[in-house]
Amino acid sequence: MEEASSPPMTDEQPKEGKWRNKRRNICIAVLAVVVILFLVILILALTVFKAKRPVITVKSMNLTDLGVSVDMARMRALLNMTVGADLSVRNPNVAGVKYKDSSALLGYRGETIGDAPIPAGRISAYSTEDMNIAVAVMADRLMSNPRVFADVMAGVLPLTANTKISGKVSLLSVFIIHVTSAVSCDINVFFSNRTIDYHQCTYDTKL
């Protein structure tokens, strides 16, 4: 009642104060939105867009159980062998990586001649896991390829070995990022000294 009847001078002051309050609230709200946006972008930048694929390294490979028998009359070669690979898989993420079941494959001229399972597992943040894989060649499959005989006679059998690790990284239990790493190596099996050469490894990695 008092305010209503007061002169314009005194009426304007609280109005101005209210406006100032309103303006301050809008400023705070805008600032809060900006800060939240900034934090969201920062978190995304540090997490989602920074999720890295596991790093596979081939530490060593060896050849065991090599058995060769050549049937000169029928131009056939029988082969037994097991290729062993010592891999390390490093998880460079701030969170653990859970990887799915996969396998290591051995190929000969485009044909799969052996595989070994890699069971699913988990690698903790920033840690490295060693994997020892042994792939036995399926002699019958190798035998059915007519080029084996010529390669055995030449003394070198070219093989490829490859494996892929696929998994997911769960960041802040909110962002789940799929990561895949693969490695493929060209191997030469030398019959003269029963060794393998595996220096041509290519690492294919993508998020």
Ligand X SMILES: *[C@@H]1O[C@H](CO)[C@@H](O)[C@H](O)[C@H]1NC(C)=O
Query: How near is the Cβ of 131 to ligand X at its closest, in Å?
Result: 9
> Which of the stretches 20-28, 93-101, 120-128, 132-140 binds ligand X when contact is defined by CB under 6 A?
132-140
Q: Of 67 and 110, which CB lies nearer to ligand X in the complex structure?
A: 67
> Hey, which residues between 66 and 85 contact ligand X (CB under 6 A)?
67-69, 78, 80, 84-85
DSSP codes joined into one string, 140-199: HHHHT-THHHHHHHHTEEEEEEEEEEEEEEEETTTEEEEEEEEEEEEEEEETTTTEEEEE
Q: Tell whether residue 144 is a contact of ligand X (CB under 6 A).
A: no
> Hey, which residues between 85 and 104 contact ligand X (CB under 6 A)?
85-86
Q: Tell whether residue 190 is a contact of ligand X (CB under 6 A).
A: yes
Q: Tell whether residue 132 is a contact of ligand X (CB under 6 A).
A: yes
Question: Each residue of 119-158: b (16+ CB within 10 Å) or e?
Answer: eeeebeeeeebebebebbbeeeebbeeeebbebbeeeebe
Q: Which residues are CB-neighbours of 172 under 8 A, at least 6 positions away?
A: 43, 47
Distance CA 50, CA 39 (A): 15
Number of residues lying near ligand X (CB under 6 A): 17
| Token pair 């050849």: residue | 63
Q: Tell whether residue 6 is a contact of ligand X (CB under 6 A).
A: no
User: Applying CB under 6 A, which of residues 6, 64, 127, 144 lies at the interface with ligand X?
Assistant: 64
User: Applying CB under 6 A, which of residues 136, 139, 143, 201 lies at the interface with ligand X?
Assistant: 139
Q: Tell whether residue 195 is a contact of ligand X (CB under 6 A).
A: yes
Give the β-pairing of 102-108 and 111-118: antiparallel
- Residues 78 and 71 sit within 8 Å (Cβ to Cβ): yes
Q: Tell whether residue 131 is a contact of ligand X (CB under 6 A).
A: no
Instruction: Give the footprint of ligand X on this chain (CB under 6 A).
Output: 62, 64, 67-69, 78, 80, 84-86, 132, 134, 139, 190, 192-193, 195
